[in-house]
A = this chain, B = another copy of it.
Amino acid sequence: MSWAQALFRPHHVAVYGSMGEGKIGRVLIDQLLAGGFPDVIAVNPKGAADEGVRAVSSLAELPAGGPPVDLVVVASPAATVANVLEDAGQAGVKAAIIVTAGFAEAGDSEAERKLLRIASQFDLRLVGPNCAGIVNTKHNLFPTLETRPPSGDVAFVSQSGALGGAVLSWAEEQGIGFSKFVSYGNGVDLTDIDFLDALREDEETRVAALYLETVSDGRRFMDAARRLAAAKPLIVIKSGRSESGSRATVSHTGSMAGADAVFDAALRQCGAIRVDGIEAMFDLCRGFTSLPPVRGPRLAIVTNSGGPGVLAADAAERCALDVRPPSGALRRRLEDRLPPFCAFDNPFDLTVQGGEDDYRDVLIDVLDEYDAALAINVNVPYLDSAPLARGIVDAARATGKPIAASFMAGRPAEAALPVLRVGGVPNFATGERAVRVLAWMCERERVVERLRRSPGWMAADESSSAQLSWDRTPLEPEAMDWLEDLAFPILEHRWVRSAEEAVEAARSFGRPVAMKVVSPSIVHKSDVGGVITGVAGAEEAAAAFDRLHVIGGSDFAGVLVSPMIGDAVEVLVGVSHDPQFGPVVACGLGGIYTEALDDLALRVAPIDADEALSMIDELRGAAILRGLRGARRDAHALAELIARVSDLPGRFPEIAELDLNPVFLLKSGCAIADVRLVRRDPATEEQERTPT
């Protein structure tokens, strides 16, 4: 029996804890019984229990050969939990839910590690400690202190017990049913990753939702999340956005890639849908569990009032749905059917005279050439809304295509709601919320296709890992030579140590040059005047060298001379190291733009060129990198470069940060004009590997 079976489909359940009135042990047993679980055993020193509940002081007292206890729920005091696990382990129990608090969250991590040591002796898997329990509605299993939710197709895994409880309490009002619920508390053993794997295989779960504060292991989380997302929608609420930007690192790229931005990129790479809060999660769950797939972005809005129709159309365009007008043929068909005062441009406005037949027939007609529809009913008090709902339900059945409803509002629309519910048409408080769901569902189809094509990132090939040839941070020209040896496109340049050499280098290029100071102690060269551009002629070159010499000070290590590039866009490409996800690759507009516009695309590395192209397109400045107003830009060469750079930290594990800034993006190809490489500091590395 797997841990998942023991946890979610146990034969027998035992509860360790006091059976006194109002005690948690007793509440848990009451919940289990009230939820319909047939056989619960109470375990406590006194062997006490209510009538009808078997009670023992140790599982060892149970007669041999009886049906096994697969799952125990632990609510006894913290100091007793270790003994409880021994007792359960010896009895062959395979899963334990530890509700008891007072472990790592109260500063006692050692006690928690002890539990894990005991459990692993017996192959006993742990949920918790300090958790709110689990639910499997499909097995009438409610070992939790929280509200028993309605049964349904959504599984919800929550790192926060209280938030999980709120979700369960709210579910009925929101029209959501759950297959499974898990609160894993401190997660000493089973965590996010284990439950993602379990939910992927769970045939009773059609949609998985996750509330996260941290992940136990970034890369393994991504693997598990991607596998799940390839099989069913994965909705994630991740709190802690406001912590972003709190990390400080040496390099430019690193300092801009906040922890939350990396998390965001990782979730996108896995195909998970990140939402901002519980309301959006509920909306999405209702869409995914009740609607067929949204195969494309073309949305028809059928309404009986112009205003709400236009508001929904506005919202649809904001989330990239396509509210195009109908074809001529469809328009003529609708004009034949409907009175002339209706609007046929999408939104299709049936006016207040639109009835059951109108909603049904028009929806069926428009879904011939649209991928999804939103049916809005602004209910006037003197009209019966139920027939309109029937028309919509009929259209959904007849077409097999996704139709969301927004029946507004309050009491006049109430009669329609049961009709929609029974008919499987989800109703949303506003058209804006409905279209957001349809847009996410449409995006989901694209994501599934992408996940089938490529994983979004690749496992690093550790067997080929090589060493850097420096035992220190190299100077920029050294790093450039190294990349050139690796066949990266490097801008032609000369590293000079005297004014004479500078003059000679400038002359050799035959056009104005840029000159940059080289010094191990200067990171941001332009901030200290260490970059001089447009240097033309011998006199200027010599003067520029002298100025840079002064700026370089005692650490002066020469000057880098390279030709000015006229028709190019400056781009930044870099890799840095995230404590949770490891190597991360970034790109953005170079110069001051990335920072000024807060516009950086991120991926967990390494990635392929396709994924790199999607990074480029994600930037606000994408049009500039794709070539705007007749200017050709070789975005594919840039994507190729980004992919190759993303591969470097895997091949050279000593790389902590690598900034190519600027890279000149040309009409054809691109050229790296400056390189900064930071080696990993073994001390830092150690720190990162220590779990926090």
Of residues 626 through 664 on chain A, the ones whose CB sits less than 8 Å from some CB of chain B are: 628-631
Given A242-B323, A527-B630, answer yes or no on A163-B621 (Cβ-Cβ < 8 Å).
no
B620 touches A430 (CB 8 A): no
Q: Which of B167, B237, B380, B412 contacts A409 (CB 8 A)?
A: B167
Q: Are A410 and B169 in contact (CB under 8 A)?
A: yes
Q: 1/0 contact trace for A111-155 toward B, CB 8 Å?
A: 000000000000000000000000000000000011100000000
- Asked if A515 is at the interface (CB within 8 A of a chain B CB), the reply is no
Report whether B240 and A410 are in contact in the complex, using a CB–CB cutoff of 8 Å.
no
Q: Is the CB of B160 within 8 A of A314?
A: no
State which size class the interface on A falls in: 35 or more
Within 8 A of B (CB), among A32-74: none
Given the contacts A163-B305, A169-B409, A352-B162, A380 and B241 also touching, CB distance less than 8 Å: no
Among A27, A307, A352, A630, the most chain B Cβ lie within 10 Å of the Cβ of: A307
Question: Out of B147, B279, B310, B323, which one reaches A381, CB within 8 Å?
Answer: B147
The answer, yes or no, to whether A91 is at the interface (CB within 8 Å) is: no
Q: Does residue A261 face the partner (Cβ distance < 8 Å to B)?
A: no
Tell me how many chains of this kind the complex includes. Answer: 2
CB A544 to nearest CB in B, in angstroms, measures 14
CA distance A379 to B164 in the complex (A): 11
Inter-chain contact A314/B592, CB cutoff 8 Å? no
Stretch at the interface among A6-14, A170-178, A189-197, A492-500: A170-178
Residues of B contacting A621 in the complex (Cβ-Cβ under 8 angstroms): 593, 596-597
Question: A624 — nearest CB in chain B belongs to which residue?
Answer: B596
A327 interface hit (Cβ, 8 Å):
no
Report whether B242 and A169 are in contact in the complex, using a CB–CB cutoff of 8 Å.
no
Q: Is the CB of B171 within 8 A of A213?
A: no
**Which of B159, B172, B240, B307 touches A160 (beta carbons < 8 Å)?**
B307
A337 at the binding interface (Cβ < 8 Å): no
Check B276–A162 contact: CB distance below 8 A. Answer: no
Q: A308-B166, A341-B106 are in contact. Are A147 and B323 (CB under 8 A)?
A: no
Q: Identify A595's interface contact among B379, B408, B623, CB under 8 A.
A: B623
- Cβ contact within 8 Å between A276 and B147: no
Give the residues in chain B near A429, CB-CB below 8 Å: 279
Query: In the complex, how many angstroms separate the beta carbon of A306 from the nearest chain B beta carbon?
Result: 6
Residue of B nearest to A166 (CB): B408
CB < 8 Å neighbour of A241 from B146, B167, B317: B317
1/0 per position for A465-497, CB-CB distance to B under 8 A?
000000000000000000000000000000000
Q: Is the CB of A163 within 8 A of B378?
A: yes
Ranked nearest first, the 10 interchain pairs of A and B with the lowest CB-CB distance are A162-B305, A160-B307, A170-B409, A163-B307, A239-B310, A169-B410, A166-B408, A241-B314, A596-B623, A242-B317
Residues of A within 8 A of B (CB): 27, 105-106, 145-147, 158-160, 162-163, 165-167, 169-173, 211, 213, 237, 239-242, 276-279, 304-308, 310-311, 313-318, 323, 341, 352, 378-382, 408-413, 429-433, 512, 524, 526-527, 533-534, 536, 566, 592-593, 595-598, 620-624, 628-631
Q: Apart from A160-B306, A163-B305, A595-B628, what 18 extra A-B contacts exist at CB < 8 Å?
A: A145-B380, A145-B381, A146-B380, A162-B304, A163-B378, A165-B378, A165-B380, A166-B409, A169-B408, A169-B409, A170-B408, A170-B410, A213-B307, A278-B430, A279-B430, A592-B624, A592-B629, A592-B631
Q: List 5 A-B contacts (CB under 8 A).
A: A147-B412, A162-B306, A166-B305, A169-B410, A239-B314
